[in-house]
């Protein structure tokens, strides 16, 4: 065979290139050492959980800990969900990365369980499976945001049943599914800050969406089982009935999906991250979980609780709880301590890092604090009064009936015998946005809410936690709601929302059973969603009392609402009050 000069030159170039490539191979051990594997874990009812693992085999001899995410969202990360940013950061550091499909989603068989016991058990089975792999050191951490953080909490709540789980990092995770759907019986719906950042599509989006997905690559007989499961009803009717009820009793369905009630059983170290402005998985889901977790006492031989706990709260929305330059180093140290035993002191530091907020917006600096709520936080009360009956704001006269009256938040209650009742009419159309712009109902939108404000503050005042409206009310129609809004009112009268709360009045005595009331006085306490907020000196504390907040929740029944603003014979001697979690416990105002 005759080869031309040009062809010979090209062949020589190819041979040289091939030789150089072979010579370079020893310099590329990382790529050759990495593996990506698909495993199948048997679990409840004979179902199979698909688990994908990425690791660097060079660390196998020393044994590797595992960082696991148990997720229903993996169809959005086809074809290799374990090839993610967590793997990119931690696999080169000697951690194996595992991503598993939640029971009844993508490559896992069985039925999606809406956070129920079967889903919880399947997560336990995955953790145990990973811990016993020959290359594993037997230690597993679970991490993830939103639903992926929820699965971490649900598995950890099994406590001593899963000793292999050494750490969890729930980011914007649910700790009680009822609280994800309902605010004290009122069904959450949309919001005006990030309209797409809401949870009204759950459980619907899962029953007809993620719970119907399959993996991109078939897996033999298990693939056939998956297809059969996807065609099944899988409890969708029950999910819909419970998830969108007008009278949602806290029954066995919700109790089964309450991991907070089992928080004292958690033995893994916990790093909770949440956004103060998260109105999908409400910020309360993270703060209340933190408060419910019991820590182990190292001075005793028994293990009473979690190894240690940390709480990281940033001014982000959903899955925005990991903002700030402090987060990544904290996470690195947390994983090194819990999975590799590195003595870096992360378990002995202040438990809380929180980023506060003011009228102007998020504060730049994070505060390091021993616990949450901030040390020194105690309740400070302000009493709801009609503005013309308080001597704290003299010279105020009663406006024409039904319009433009401003109530007062007073340091002392009204105990006189004069008329102490304030009234509004709810049509199911009130919103905090309209009420905040027109708190005195001056522009014809109707007398849908009541507006109270304090004297100007004499100093900067910080709250840490949830305000509570403790009100005596009389509603005309069974099934009405209360949706109070705490405001920061600037000297020019401009107001911004600080906290908002929701209460279905039929659940004023607890969530176990609906107890409708009408045309009689009842005591109703509404716990607002918590915040870390500082009111500036010269600003006023404001309060909107209304029964619907239609941008944020499905409204209840319409009708008239009476509020006791002082003594009402045979009902209350002091009326209604607003309790604020004030750091330092005292409120100081300028004189009028």
Domains recognised in the chain with CATH numbers: 32-193+200-243+251-369 (3.40.50.1820), 377-583 (2.60.120.260)
Buried b (16+ CB within 10 A) or exposed e, 124-156: bbbbbbbbebebbbebbbbbbbbbbbbbbbbbb
Positive or negative CA dihedral for 381, 383, 384, 387?
Answer: negative
Residue 524 bridge partners (DSSP)? 471
pLDDT at res. 337: 98
Distance, C-alpha 25 to centroid of its chain: 48
- What is the model's pLDDT at position 25? 41
- Compute the C-alpha angle 408/412/415, nearest 5°: 95
Q: What is the DSSP string of 211-238?
A: GG---SS--THHHHHHHHHHHS-TTHHH
Sign of CA dihedral 433, 435, 436, 442: positive
| pLDDT score of 440 | 75
- Give the tens place of pLDDT for each residue, 558-591: 999 999 999 999 999 999 999 999 999 999 999 7
Pairing of strands 136-145, 64-71: parallel
Backbone dihedral angles phi then psi of residue 112, each to the nearest 5 degrees: -65, 135
Residue 420: the pLDDT is 83
For residue 254, the SS3 value is helix
Pairing of strands 577-583, 481-482: unpaired
Q: What share of the chain is helix, strand, coil (3-state, %, to 5)?
A: 25, 30, 45
In 3D space, the residue among 341, 335, 342 whose CA is nearest the CA of residue 97 turns out to be: 335
Instruction: Name the nearest CA neighbour of 198 among 281, 76, 320.
Output: 281
- Nearest Cα to 102, choosing from 160, 53, 176, 41? 41
DSSP-based three-state secondary structure for 71: strand
Helices 147-156 & 117-131 angle (0-180, nearest 10): 80
Give the separation between CA 588 and CA 186, rounded to whole angstroms.
34
Q: Check residue 198 and give its pLDDT.
A: 72
SS3 state of residue 274:
strand
DSSP label at residue 553: B
Q: Which residues are 56's β-sheet partners?
A: 34
Say what the pLDDT of residue 200 is: 80
- Between strands 468-475 and 377-386, the pairing is unpaired
Q: How far apart are the first and last CA of the chain?
A: 107
Could you give the CA distance from residue 132 to residue 139 in angstroms, rounded to a whole number?
A: 9
SS3 track for 134-171: CCEEEEEEEEEECHHHHHHHHHHCCHHHCCCEEEEEEE
Count of beta carbons in the 10 Å neighbourhood of residue 449: 29
Which segments of the chain have a pLDDT < 70?
1-32, 219-221, 387-405, 419, 442-446, 592
The whole-model pTM stands at 0.92
Report DSSP state, residue 262. G
* Cα–Cα distance list, 115 to 48, 145, 154, 210, 268 (Å): 17, 15, 8, 14, 20
Residues 172/278, Cβ–Cβ less than 8 Å:
yes
Q: Write b or e for each residue in 81-114: b if 16 or more Cβ atoms lie within 10 A of its Cβ, otherwise e.
A: bbbeebbebbbeebbbbbbbbbbbbbbbbbbbbb
Q: What is the pLDDT of residues 466-482, one digit of tens each?
A: 999 999 999 999 999 99
């Amino acid at each position: 065979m005759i080869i031309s000069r040009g062809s010979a030159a090209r062949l020589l170039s190819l041979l040289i290139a091939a030789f150089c490539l072979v010579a370079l191979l020893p310099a590329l051990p990382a790529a050759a050492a990495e593996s990506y594997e698909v495993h199948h874990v048997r679990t409840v009812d004979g179902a199979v959980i698909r688990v994908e693992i990425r690791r660097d085999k060079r660390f196998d001899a020393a044994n590797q800990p595992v960082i696991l995410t148990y997720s229903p969202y993996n169809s959005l990360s086809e074809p290799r969900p374990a090839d993610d940013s967590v793997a990119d950061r931690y696999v080169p550091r000697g951690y194996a990365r595992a991503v598993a499909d939640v029971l009844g989603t993508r490559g896992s068989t069985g039925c999606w369980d809406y956070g129920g016991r079967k889903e919880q058990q399947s997560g336990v089975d995955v953790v145990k499976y990973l811990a016993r792999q020959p290359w594993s050191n037997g230690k597993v951490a679970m991490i993830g945001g939103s639903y992926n953080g929820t699965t971490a909490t649900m598995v950890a709540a099994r406590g001593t049943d899963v000793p292999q789980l050494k750490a969890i990092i729930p980011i914007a995770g649910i700790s009680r599914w009822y609280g994800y759907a309902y605010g004290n019986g009122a069904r959450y719906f949309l919001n005006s800050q990030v309209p797409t950042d809401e949870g009204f599509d759950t459980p619907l989006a899962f029953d007809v969406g993620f719970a119907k997905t399959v993996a991109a690559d078939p897996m033999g007989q298990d693939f056939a089982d998956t297809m059969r499961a996807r065609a099944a009803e899988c409890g969708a009717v029950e999910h819909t009935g419970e998830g969108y009820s007008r009278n949602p009793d806290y029954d066995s369905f919700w109790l089964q999906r309450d991991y907070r009630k089992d928080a004292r059983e958690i033995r893994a170290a916990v790093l909770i991250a949440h956004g103060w402005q998260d109105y999908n998985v409400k910020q309360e889901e993270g703060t209340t979980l933190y408060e419910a977790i019991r820590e182990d006492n190292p001075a005793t031989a028994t293990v009473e609780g979690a190894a240690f706990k940390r709480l990281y709260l940033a001014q982000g929305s959903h899955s925005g709880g990991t903002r700030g330059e402090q987060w990544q180093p904290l996470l690195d140290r947390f994983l090194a301590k819990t999975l590799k035993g590195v003595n870096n002191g992360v378990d002995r530091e202040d438990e809380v890092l929180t980023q506060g907020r003011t009228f102007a917006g998020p504060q730049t600096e994070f505060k390091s604090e021993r616990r949450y709520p901030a040390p020194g936080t105690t309740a400070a009360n302000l009493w709801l009064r009609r503005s013309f009956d308080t001597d704290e704001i003299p010279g105020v006269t009663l406006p024409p009936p039904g319009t433009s009256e401003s109530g007062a938040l007073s340091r002392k209650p009204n105990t006189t015998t004069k008329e102490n009742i304030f009234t509004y009419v709810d049509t199911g159309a009130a919103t905090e946005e309209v009420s905040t712009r027109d708190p005195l109902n001056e522009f014809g939108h109707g007398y849908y809410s009541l507006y109270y404000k304090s004297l100007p503050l004499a100093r900067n005042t910080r709250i840490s936690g949830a305000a509570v409206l403790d009100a005596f009310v009389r509603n005309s129609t069974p099934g009405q709601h209360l949706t109070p809004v705490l405001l920061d009112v600037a000297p020019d009268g401009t107001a911004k929302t600080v906290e908002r709360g929701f209460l279905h009045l039929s659940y004023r005595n607890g969530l176990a059973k609906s107890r409708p009331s009408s045309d009689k006085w009842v005591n109703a306490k509404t716990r607002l969603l918590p915040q870390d907020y500082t009111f500036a000196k010269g600003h006023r504390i404001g309060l909107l009392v209304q029964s619907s907040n239609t941008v944020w929740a499905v409204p209840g029944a319409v009708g008239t609402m009476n509020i006791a603003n002082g003594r009402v014979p045979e009902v209350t001697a002091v009326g209604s009050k607003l309790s604020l979690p004030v750091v330092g416990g005292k409120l100081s105002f300028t004189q009028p």
